Amino acid sequence: MAKAAGWAARILTVAVEMVLPALIGTWIDRKLGTVAVFMLIGLGLGCFAATLHLMQLIKKFD
């Protein structure tokens, strides 16, 4: 059960790393009146960060 909770926390962390920058970008877009510019930048940065994190996890448990 502890292993499952640990993996669930890791997966949740990766998901938040992907989604949170896009949400922040959406908020910035609304404040500045732009159309999805910062959301796309946030999504790209979030996916990049999540990919790096997943690669670290794979190395650690490989």
Domain spans of the chain, in order of start: 31-62
3-state helix, strand, coil in the chain (%, to 5): 90, 0, 10
Question: CA–CA separation, 18 vs 43, rounded Å?
Answer: 7
Work out the average pLDDT over 9-37: 95
What's this model's pTM, rounded to 2 decimal places? 0.81
- Write out pLDDT tens, residues 27-44: 999 999 999 999 999 999
12: amino acid identity, one letter: L
